[in-house]
Amino acid sequence: MRKLCLFAFALTLVVVVLGAYTRLTDAGLGCPDWPGCYGFHTVPKSEQAQRLAAERFPDSPLEPVKARNEMVHRYAAGLLGVTILLMALWSLKAVHRAYRLPAWLLLALVTGQATLGMLTVTLNLLPFVVMGHLLGGFTILALLFLAICQGRQAMPEPPRVAGLGGWYLAGLGALVLQIALGGWTAANYAALSCLELPVCQGDWLGQWQWSAFHPHGVPAETYQYGVLSQEERVTIHAAHRLWALVTALLLLALAWRLWQRRGMKGWGACLALGVAGQLALGVANVVLHLPLAVAVAHNAGAAALLLILTGTGERLWRYREETWHEAHYCPDAGN
């Protein structure tokens, strides 16, 4: 079961990165149908297959590179779904029942992800669906990492965690919102709406449009390349930048408090380095005008920060749980 969990975690990392790569190469509609590609199980390669593809989807000309990117992502996601299904079935006969609930929860989530993947294509990249698909992938990644952390042995030295709960929840909430804003920025093609630092297109406050955050957006036949006005895209980009500063401050404050506590220094150092790296990648995206490698790394950096906070939270929770059991079941716990 643990080996399946480790494999699923590694595969989810690959799927998340491939999803970012697919989105950033504008390959989200590389195949206009689902789950196949122009009615085939693979990207059409022969002349006859390409003619059939053109007849089936005359309004969506085949672009082999984009279609390949999309199908590689789908194959990896499909393999992940099968792996998590095996985990769920295996948990029914696992010795430790603790595996059962997480495995079936993951199966429900990956089923929802498959549905969102289908809707991403059938609704022509509707931003709200695209953002939901991103958040779903990050959620599965975090839950698999949590399952791996819970499989570790008991802590040899209990950490000092008093007073960290509030800071942890604030940092986690800020990061989740920042990831959602990043997904909204990408889904609405707003990443290149601001090409200056630290300001954004001069008077960006004067261009602020709350309509940019409407969940349904502007009705359109397709949302590829975005349908919002320039002012709305500037608003989304500026919101992502501003909340990045808030998130960074909260996470750095949490990292400092972790560094000061016994047994938590490693998590604090990892968190501080992750925040610094993510800020550097964000600045590079603006200065270098969103190069593909940097943009993909920025997505991976957000996933890394979420994993660091997941591991930190698991350690905090485990200590509280062990302390509670000692206080209630050990006669000498109070001495």
What are the structural domain ranges in the chain? Answer: 1-152, 161-335
pLDDT along the chain (335 residues), means of 10: 90 96 94 93 93 93 95 96 92 71 91 95 93 96 90 56 83 97 95 85 78 77 89 93 96 94 89 97 94 96 97 82 46 46
Say which of 63, 70, 314, 321 is annotated catalytic.
70
Q: Helix, strand or coil for residue 294?
A: helix
pLDDT of residue 8: 95
Q: Strand pairing partners for 40?
A: 37
- What sign for the dihedral angle of Cα 122, 295, 77, 12? negative
Active site residue 70: yes
Locate 118 and state its tokens: 């289908």
Rounded to 5 degrees, φ, ψ at 196 are: -125, 155
Rounded-to-integer distance, Cα 56 and Cα 150, Å: 49
Locate 98 and state its tokens: 């603790």
Half-sphere exposure of 204 (CA within 13 A, CB side): 21
**Residue reference for tokens 């789950």:** 35
